[in-house]
Amino acid sequence: MKGRVRPLIFGEYPGIKNKIGWISLGRFPTPVEPLTGSGPGNIWIKRDDKSSVIYGGNKVRKLEFVLADATRKGKDRVVTMGGIGTNHGLATAVFCKRLGMSCTLILFYQPVTSYVRRNLLLFHRYGAELIYAKNMLLAGIDFYTTARLKYPGAYFLYAGGSTALGCLGFVDAAFELKSQVDMGMIPEPRYIVCALGSNGTMAGLSLGCMLAGLDTEVIGVRVAASHIGPIKIASPDAVRDLMLKTYRLLKRTSSNVPELNLTDRPHVMNGYFGDGYGYPTAKGLAAAEFMKQNHGIELDPTYTSKTFAAVLDLAKANPDQPILYWHTYNSVDLSSEVSSVDFHDLPSEFHEFFKQKELPV
State pTM to two decimals.
0.96
Question: What pLDDT does 1 receive?
Answer: 38
> Are 8-58+164-327 and 60-161 in the same CATH fold?
yes
Q: What is the 3-state secondary structure (H, E, C) of 191-249?
A: EEEEEECCCHHHHHHHHHHHHHCCCCEEEEEECCCCEECCEECCCHHHHHHHHHHHHHH
Distance between CA atoms of 232 and 218, rounded to whole angstroms? Answer: 19
- pLDDT confidence of residue 36: 86
Per the CB < 8 A criterion, the answer to whether 107 and 133 are in contact is: yes
Could you tell me which residues come within 8 angstroms of residue 152 by beta carbon, excluding any fewer than 6 positions away? none
Burial bucket for residue 47 (CB in 10 Å: 0-12, 13-18, 19+): middle
Query: What is the dotted CATH code of the domain comprising 8-58+164-327?
Result: 3.40.50.1100
H helices of the chain, where? 8-12, 59-72, 87-99, 114-125, 136-141, 147-150, 164-182, 200-212, 236-253, 282-295, 304-317, 335-339
CATH topology of domain 60-161: Rossmann fold (3.40.50)
How confident is the model over 259-278, as pLDDT tens digits? Answer: 999 999 999 999 999 999 99
**Domain extent listing, the chain:** 8-58+164-327, 60-161
Series of mean pLDDT values for 10-residue runs along the chain (361 residues): 78 93 97 86 96 98 98 98 97 98 98 96 98 95 97 96 98 98 98 98 98 98 92 94 98 95 96 96 97 96 98 95 98 97 97 89 72
